[in-house]
Amino acid sequence: MAAIIVALWQTPVLLPLKLLVVLFHELAHLVTVLLTGGTPESLSLTPHQGGAVLSRGGNRFLTLSAGYLGSLLIGLALFRAALSGRFDHWITGALGLVILLVTLLYVRDPFGLAFCTGAGVLMLASARWLGHGPNDLLLRLIGLTSIIYVPLDIFSDTLSRAHLRSDARMLAEEFGGATMLWGGLWLLLSLVAIWLALRSTFRATPGAD
C-alpha cells in the first residue's frame, strides 16, 4: 500500500488524501489554541495544499509547533486503529463528525467549506453503509499518507525552501533560532515518532496484514 501511495504521489489521485493531511495540520493548530486558552477565529484550506488558522491568544510557541507533528500523530493514531481492526467504522464516523463540526464552527472560505463538508459527509456515509473492509482500508490510506506526507512537507517547507512563511519561519522570528533549525528538529522528531510508532504497532499486532 505504501508503494502504491509513493508511485501515485505526484498524480491528482492522491490530492484528496494530501488535503486531508493538511486539514489535520490546521486542526492540530486549532486544538492547541483551544487547549492553551486561546480563541480560534477561522480555519482555511486551499487547493494548493495550503492552509491557515487565525486565532487570538493561546500559547504561541506550542501553537506554531503543533501543526506538522500534530498531523503526524493523527495519522499514526488512525493507522494504529486500522491495524487493531475493531472499531474501524466507528472511528471513520467519529472523524467525519469532527470534520463537519469544525467546518460548521470555523471554516468560511469556499474551497475549505466544499472540501471539508464533502470529506465529512463521505466518511459518515462510509461508516454507515460500508463494511469493515472499506473502512479499514480508508483509515490505513489516510494514516500512511500522513506518515509519508509530513516528513516530506517539513523538509520542503522548512529546509529546502526556508524562505517560505512557514510555521518554522514564524517560530524563528518570534522566539529566535533559524528556520532550518526548527525545521530540522521537527523532521528529526517526526522520523523518530514514525519509527517508534510503527515498531510498537507491529509488535502489538503481529498478525496484522
pLDDT at 179 over 80: yes
Q: Which residue has better confidence, 86 or 48?
A: 48
> Mean per-residue pLDDT for 52-62?
92
> Mean per-residue pLDDT for 150-179?
86
Residue 38 — very low, low, confident or very high, per pLDDT cuts 50/70/90?
Answer: very high
**Which pLDDT value is given to residue 115?**
96
Total residue count of the chain as it appears in this document: 209
Q: Are 205 and 83 in contact (CB under 8 A)?
A: yes
Average pLDDT along the chain: 90
Helices (H) and strands (E) in the chain, counts: 8, 2
**Which pLDDT value is given to residue 160?**
78
**Which pLDDT value is given to residue 204?**
63
**Which pLDDT value is given to residue 207?**
52
Angle, vertex CA 27, rays to CA 120 and CA 175, nearest 5: 165
How far apart CA 44 and CA 50 sit, in angstroms, is: 8
pLDDT at 25 over 70: yes
pTM of the model: 0.91
- Residue 56 bridge partners (DSSP): 39
**Which pLDDT value is given to residue 136?**
92
> Mean per-residue pLDDT for 179-192?
91
**Which pLDDT value is given to residue 209?**
47
Distance between start and end Cα atoms, the chain:
11
Query: Above pLDDT 70, what percent of the chain?
Result: 97
